[in-house]
Amino acid sequence: MISKIDEAANIIKNAKRIVVFSGAGISAESGIPTFRGVGGIWKKYRAEELASYNAFKKNPELVWRFYDYRRQIIAKAEPNNAHILLSKMENMFDSLHVITQNIDGLHKKAGSKNILELHGNIWRVRCEKEEKVFDFMQNPVDPLPPKCPFCGDILRPDVVWFGESLNSDILNKSFKIAEKAEIAIVIGTSSIVYPAAHIPLLTKKKGGKILEINIEKTPLTDISDIFIKGKASMIIQKIFYKIAD
Ligand SMILES: NC(=O)c1ccc[n+]([C@@H]2O[C@H](COP(=O)([O-])OP(=O)(O)OC[C@H]3O[C@@H](n4cnc5c(N)ncnc54)[C@H](O)[C@@H]3O)[C@@H](O)[C@H]2O)c1
Ligand SMILES: [Zn+2]
């Protein structure tokens, strides 16, 4: 019987257009906790209660402490084999795009070029008053909350919070890419946050396949053509060896 790895590798090998859709699980092996595992003092708060505009307006310092804490973890993190091998795969196909829900920038650090960040990037900030977005690498952030160097208003992380809309340009590009892909490789996402979770469904709707890689089943698993249970880096490595043959 053909293994799931062989089955996945065969589809990928014969595809010209691939979309990768990643979530927090792809960065777990780089030491960045997924959202269910935020520990320490943050056990008192649910991530959802800190990652919202209301929380920011009520207590910008608290929200910034949460982001500063995450920035410090992310600053130490290196891409793992899943990020690295996906970046190598970019040159092996007519098109391979990574659409990520992650704000950690690890796909870029691994060398991927075609990246769409649906939820922003933790290393950018935004001045809402002036509608300016800029890189902000200070680590740790001091003073908290940081102020805009131009107008003095409190800056916010340039990420998409609960209840906020995704950038419509990025979302529309993502939808187009997903519709054209022959396979959507979905890695390490709980597939419950919409509209992002809709992306692989578009690939399937247009006749493409869904390959899901996760350490546990998700709401997408029943819809997926192939589900491979396991850690992202190990599964991607096994598939990579088959397609690089
Ligand atoms: N900003 C916040 O604080 C916050 C909080 C909760 C959710 N969210 C949003 O929800 C979005 C979606 O969440 P998500 O799906 O990215 O993360 P998630 O934490 O909901 O899910 C992570 C998934 O990765 C899997 N996983 C864990 N380790 C893995 C490994 N080594 N290999 C493969 N899979 C592994 C888990 O089984 C799980 O299904 C996030 O991008 C984020 O924007 C944000
Ligand atoms: Zn400003």
CA dist., res. 134 & res. 223, Å (int): 39
- Name which CATH class applies to 33-76+123-159: alpha beta
Task: Extract the runs of DSSP E, i.e. beta strands, from the chain.
Answer: 17-22, 95-100, 115-117, 120-127, 132-135, 156-159, 183-187, 209-214, 226-229
- Could you tell me how many residues make up the chain? 245
CA 22, 26, 27: angle at the middle one, nearest 5?
120
Ligand 1 closest atom vs CA 29: 31
The single-letter code of the amino acid at 125 is V
The rounded mean pLDDT for the chain is: 94
Q: Give me the pLDDT at residue 196, please.
A: 82
Express each pLDDT in 162-215 by its tens digit.
999 999 999 999 999 999 999 999 999 998 878 888 999 999 999 999 999 999
Q: How confident is the model at residue 56 (pLDDT cuts 50, 70, 90)?
A: very high
Is 97 in the active site? no
Q: Which residues line ligand 1 (CB under 6 A)?
A: 23-25, 28-29, 34-36, 47-48, 51, 101, 119, 188-190, 193, 213-216, 218, 231-232
CA of 131 to the centre of ligand 2 (A): 8
List the residue whose alpha carbon is closest to atom 9 of ligand 1: 193
Q: Is 133 helix (H, G, I), strand (E, B) or coil?
A: strand
Q: How confident is the model at residue 151 (pLDDT cuts 50, 70, 90)?
A: very high
The predicted model scores a pTM of 0.95
CA dist., res. 210 & res. 8, Å (int): 9
**Stretch(es) of the chain classified as CATH 3.30.1600.10:** 33-76+123-159
Express each pLDDT in 22-47 by its tens digit.
999 999 999 998 876 555 556 667 77
The fold for domain 1-32+79-119+166-245 equals: Rossmann fold (3.40.50)
Q: Give me the pLDDT at residue 40, please.
A: 52
